[in-house]
Structure 1
Amino acid sequence: MRSMLSYDWMETLRNTNQWLGASARALGSYPVFSVMPNPALHWMQAWGEVTERSFERMIAKPDWNIDSITCEDGRDHVVQVDTVVQRAFGDLIHFNVVGREEQPRRILLVAPMSGHYATLLRSTVKSLITNCEVYITDWHNARDIPVSEGKFDVEDYTLYLVDFMREMGPDTHVIAVCQPAPLTLAATAYLAEDDPKAQPRTLTLIGGPIDPNATPTDVTDFGHRVTMGQLEHSMIQRVGFKYAGVGRKVYPGLLQLTSFMSMNADRHGQAFMDQITRVARGEASDHDAHNRFYDEYLAVMDMTAEFYLSTVERIFKNGEIAKNAFVVDGKKVDIGKITTVAVKTVEGEKDDISAPGQCIAALGLLTGLPDNKKASHVEPNAGHYGIFAGRSWRNNIRPLVLDFIDSNSGEAKPRAANQNAAAG
């Protein structure tokens, strides 16, 4: 019960700060105060506006906000977000560009489950959707999943990816970003042995911790420094009474956000002070740079306790993927069984989360794959975010990934499952 109370206490603090912001905003804009303008009241209104918005975003799932795109035919096309596979802990969704011929490149983006929603890859989706059929894993917030749905750990995550790849078929090109890279590699190896015909054509791993110990960072040091008991005691709580997942053990998104913010507290503090000043001067807008970034950054989701703990223990502490010793549902997954799927790794030179060396370690595990089906790229001067969503991705990495996909596409085959899905 204590952990449920602490979860509710965090939500109470968040709710209180949102209310304080709303109250300050309302009070500062009270009409009678305009008779005798006071800079302090004007600043209070600005503080309230920024505070209310910030704390409100923490429990809201962002929209994709991809309503239409201009395709290579020069026309604007409406984009529909269709659910292809619906599961308790995550869905497979498709960005269906209405009125456009089906594109030969079928891409499955595997989004990270690391505290943020899949919409963190919004700009990645936008950059690919113009000339690709884009699918993505849309993971659900654990606080909204009833306890009756059971557990969800790294093995369940891997099996979800296996099912999604089977659904999409062999003409698929998988791109895994950050956290899911090792589990996506394992899912591909699982298919290589269990259902070879369902393997994707290519697999691109971007900034993922295949071997976290290859080049240690603060993230890997933390994983080795704390014991699993300490981690469970300090990080795991039970969902409170407000949500459908009441009683489920989770690593709360609000706790994760606190960790994110504390890593660069001075920079975030200055960013909010600058935004309050801009609001007070009338220079801010709903979609300015600050709001575009923080509307996404502050929107966090809970992870199931078993997923968070098993990730730390099995991927970081024990290095099961790095040692090719990962087990799924009682079955050892042998990465060396991948013999036909072309694999490319992408790393950022200045990535301080998954440093260069961690991701390229995947190529050494692919003992059954010919060298001509292996590729790697290290992007100069790029940090973690830049290699999948920034200028480095748009200008350099995206073209390289698409070239890699095209050179390993072979002859595409029609899929009845996809035709049925499109008809539905």
Structure 2
Amino acid sequence: MYLDMDRRDLAISLRIKLGDWFRVLQLLKTGSGDCDDALLEQAYNAIGDYFADRQKWVNAVQYYLQGRNQERLAECYYMLEDYDGLERLTTVLPENHKLLPEIGQMFATVGMCEQAVNAYLKCNQPKAAIDTCVHLNQWNKAVELARTHNMKEIKSLLSKYASHLLEKNKTLEAVELYRKAHHFLDAAKLMFKIADEEAKKRTRPLRVKKLYVLAARLVENYHEQVKTSQQSKAKGKKSEATFALAGLLEEDATSSDNRVVDNAWRGAEAYHFFLLAQRQLYEGYMENAMRTAIHLREYEDIIPAVEIYSLLAICSTANRAFGTCSQAFIKLESLPSLEPEQRQFYEDLALEIFTKHAPKDSRMMERERSSEGAEGKLPTCIVTGLPIQEYQFWMCSVCKHCALEQEIGKYNCCPLCHSPVV
């Protein structure tokens, strides 16, 4: 038996020198004793190289698997376009294996972003994973990775991706991108831009109001984010007043658009009262409709003056407050934006109305109108559109707008921002 073993070893050595690995593998398998595992793997890999050199990748894979040659196995999977096999190999490899970056590059080359990211993350290369996402236009994934791994490039990534979306007129997608990345102020600015554009197009007021509400809610998220950030930085001895002051100082330092931060709800307010006045008018509450329309005069920078004063003229006429109606027509006739034909139409309509009715309000209306300056300092009820003269009233926890307690009791949600009534 020993003589036979010696002869087999000599035969194997001779075949190795001749490069006949097929015969070497045969001798190793047919031997009566245990064979050398290292030599067996060497034989498998040599035969795998034989088939790979002849581009017979399927055959090569079988031998590389048995020879545990992961580097050449990855090459064969790539050449065969067997990406499932390449993904399985990625799963089997230990973390930080030297082959993982190469596999990540293979996946990136064929546009398989998720698989490439998994390979790069397994070898602790988040920067390469993010670069791959950017190269493959998977911006959302890139931003998510940058935020997860606290990468400094997140701001520039967001700007690039947002520009990419805006070039394709995907503004809402850009807003969602900023929102998911917790860049609420940038999202709010884009949202206000959308709302302003829709307002210029004379889109349905309800839609415009919703857009302004969304924009304002994003600003509220920004306020809360600043407050939370300051609280996490502050020490335990600091008071709530100190937190609030620090948050306000940070907002002043970071905000470049005062309209977005300081007057976030102004657009939503304007269209809320615009819709409220019309609803009150059609439901027959003429007095309330006129008062709400009077309040709308504060929002000429949001809603075109011609729409505000036209609505006021209609409501005051329906309420038989012809003094207020006369003032509305005077304003309409003096608007510089009107065409001559439209101005003439208002003049003719005013003449028709005021030849039948004297341009006067009732004595009670006159007294109330004379005290409008004082009432203008009072909060306005978002349910009725009237000034709140009571000492106790309800205030929304989100938009900070007020309503009479007996009126808000009829609602489950805030009429302005639609947050639940607490």
Q: TM-score range by the shorter chain?
A: under 0.3
In terms of fraction of residues, the more strand-rich structure is 1
TM-score normalised by structure 2 residue count:
0.24
Higher relative contact order, chain-length normalized (CA < 8 Å, sep 6+): 1
* Structure exhibiting the larger radius of gyration computed from Cα positions: 2
Bigger share in helix:
2
